[in-house]
Amino acid sequence: MTLPNDYEMVVGLEVHTELRTATKLFCGCPNSFGEEPNTSICPVCLGLPGSLPVLNSHAVELAMAIGAALGCEIRPSSFHRKNYFYPDMPKDYQISQYDEPINVNGALELPDGSTVRIERAHIEEDTGKTTHLGESGRIHGADRSLVDYNRAGVPLVEIVSAPDITSAAQARAYAAELRSILVATGASDGRMEEGSMRVDANVSVRRVGDATLGTRCEIKNLNSLRSVQRAVEHEAIRQVALVTDGGRVVQETRHWDEGASKTVTMRSKEEAYDYRYFPEPDLLPLAPDDEWRDRVIASLPVLPAVRRVALLELLDEPTPSQRDQVLSVVELGLDGYVTTAVARGVAGALALARVANELAALENATSLDPDKVAGLLSMEQAGELPATQAKAVLAQLAAHGGDPKEIAAAMGFERLDDSALTQLVDGLIAAHPDEWGRYAEGDDKLAQFFVGQVMKLTKGQADGKAVIAELSRRR
Amino acid sequence: MTSAVQIASEVRSGQCTARSVTEAALSEVAASDGALHAFLHVDADGALAAADRVDAMVERGEDPGPLAGVPVALKDNLCTRGVPTTAASRILEGWEPPYTATVVDRLGTAGAIAIGKTNLDEFAMGSSTENSAFGPTRNPHDHTRVPGGSSGGSAAAVAAGMVALGLGSDTGGSIRQPAALCGVVGVKPTYGAVSRYGLIAFASSLDQIGPIARTVADAALCLEVIAGHDPMDSTSLREPAPSLTASLADGVDGRTVGLVRELVDGAAPDVVGRVRDAAEALERAGARVIELSVPELRLGLSAYYLIAPAEASSNLARYDGVRYGLRVPADDITAMNVATRTAGFGDEVKRRIMLGTYALSAGYYDAYYGRAQRVRTLMIRAFAAAYEQADLLLGATAPTTAFELGAKTTDPMAMYLSDVFTIPSNLSGEVAVTVPFGAGDDGLPIGVQVLGPARSEPRVFAAAAVLESGAPQ
Amino acid sequence: MTALSRDDVAHVAALARLSLSDEELDRYTGQLQAVLDHAADLEAFDLEGTPATAHPFADRNVVREDTPVACLDRDEVLACAPDEEDHRFSVPRIIGEAP
Q: Answer yes or no: is pLDDT of C63 > 90.
A: yes
Interface of A with B in 117-136 (CB under 8 A): none
pLDDT above 90 covers a percentage of chain A that reads: 68
- Spell out which residues of chain B touch residue C34, defining contact as CB-CB under 8 Å: 412-413
pLDDT single digits (tens) B293-341:
999 999 999 999 999 999 999 999 999 999 999 999 999 999 999 999 9
Interface test with A, best of C57, C85, C88 (most A CBs within 10 A): C88
pLDDT single digits (tens) B414-431:
899 999 999 999 999 999
Interchain pair C55, A281: CB under 8 A: yes
The DSSP output letter for A51 is: -
> How near does any CA of chain B get to the CA of A91, in Å?
5
pLDDT at A269: 46
- Spell out which residues of chain B touch residue A55, defining contact as CB-CB under 8 Å: 234
How far apart are the C-alpha atoms of B194 and B226, rounded to whole Å? Answer: 6
Interchain pair C41, B298: CB under 8 A: yes
How far apart are the C-alpha atoms of A320 and A316, rounded to whole Å? Answer: 13
Assembly ipTM: 0.97
How far apart are the C-alpha atoms of B171 and B166, rounded to whole Å? Answer: 16
Decide if B70 contacts B104 (C-beta within 8 A).
Answer: no
Q: What are chain B's partners, defined as 3 or more CB pairs within 8 angstroms?
A: A, C
pTM for the model: 0.91
What is the band of A270 on the pLDDT scale with cuts at 50, 70, 90? very low
Radius of gyration of chain B (CA): 21
- Smallest CA–CA distance from C10 into chain B, residue: B354
Active site residues of B: 75, 150, 174
Average of per-residue pLDDT values in chain B: 97
pLDDT at C1: 52
Decide if B331 contacts B349 (C-beta within 8 A).
Answer: no
Give yes or no for A265 touching B (CB within 8 A).
Answer: no
Write the DSSP string, B20-75.
HHHHHHHHHHHHHHHHH--EEEE-HHHHHHHHHHHHHHHHHT----TTTT-EEEEE
pLDDT single digits (tens) A369-426:
999 999 999 998 888 888 888 888 998 898 888 898 888 888 877 666 777 888 888 8
Kindly tell me the number of DSSP H helices and DSSP E strands found in chain A: 15, 15
Q: Which of B89, B49, B19, B165 is nearest to B319 (CA)?
A: B89
Point out the residue among B329, B338, B370 whose CB comes nearest to the CB of C18: B338
Decide if B249 contacts B220 (C-beta within 8 A).
Answer: no
How far apart are the C-alpha atoms of B260 and B389, rounded to whole Å? Answer: 12
Average of per-residue pLDDT values in chain A: 91
Write the DSSP string, B369-430.
IIHHHHHHHHHHHHHHHHHHH-SEEEEESSSSSPPBTTSSTT-HHHHHGGGTTTHHHHHHT-
pLDDT at A138: 67
Assign residue A450 a region (left: φ > 0; alpha: ψ between -120 and 50; beta: otherwise): alpha
Interchain pair C15, A276: CB under 8 A: yes
Q: Answer yes or no: is pLDDT of A144 > 70.
A: yes
Q: Answer yes or no: is pLDDT of A135 > 70.
A: no
Does the CA dihedral B137-B141-B145-B151 come out positive or negative? Answer: negative
How far apart are the C-alpha atoms of A347 and A340, rounded to whole Å? Answer: 11
pLDDT at A271: 52
> How near does any CA of chain C get to the CA of A275, in Å?
9
Give yes or no for A48 touching B (CB within 8 A).
Answer: yes
pLDDT single digits (tens) A163-204:
999 999 999 999 999 999 999 999 999 999 999 999 999 999
Contacts of A23 (CB under 8 A, 6+ apart): A29, A30, A31, A56, C66, C67, C68, C69
**Which of A353 and A416 is assigned the larger pLDDT?**
A353
Q: Which of B365, C99, C4 is nearest to A278 (CA)?
A: B365
Residue B197's Cα: distance from chain center in Å? 16
User: β-strands A80-83, A115-125: how paired?
Assistant: unpaired
Q: What average pLDDT does this structure show over B67-91?
A: 98
pLDDT at A465: 78
Interchain pair A282, B310: CB under 8 A: no
pLDDT at A221: 80
pLDDT single digits (tens) B339-382:
999 999 999 999 999 999 999 998 899 999 999 999 999 999 99
Does the CA dihedral B92-B94-B98-B100 come out positive or negative? Answer: positive
- The three state secondary structure string of A161-184 is ECCCECCHHHHHHHHHHHHHHHHH
Contacts of B154 (CB under 8 A, 6+ apart): B38, B73, B74, B75, B118, B120, B166, B167, B168, B178, B212
Q: Which of B199, B260, B200 is nearest to B230 (CA)?
A: B199
User: β-strands A55-56, A80-83: how paired?
Assistant: unpaired
Q: Say whether B1 sits in a helix, a strand or coil.
A: coil
Decide if A63 contacts A49 (C-beta within 8 A).
Answer: no
Contacts of A143 (CB under 8 A, 6+ apart): A133, A134, C92, C93
Q: At what angle do helices B44-60 and B4-13 cross, to 10 degrees?
A: 50
Number of C-beta neighbours around residue A423 at 10 A: 10
pLDDT above 70 covers a percentage of chain B that reads: 100
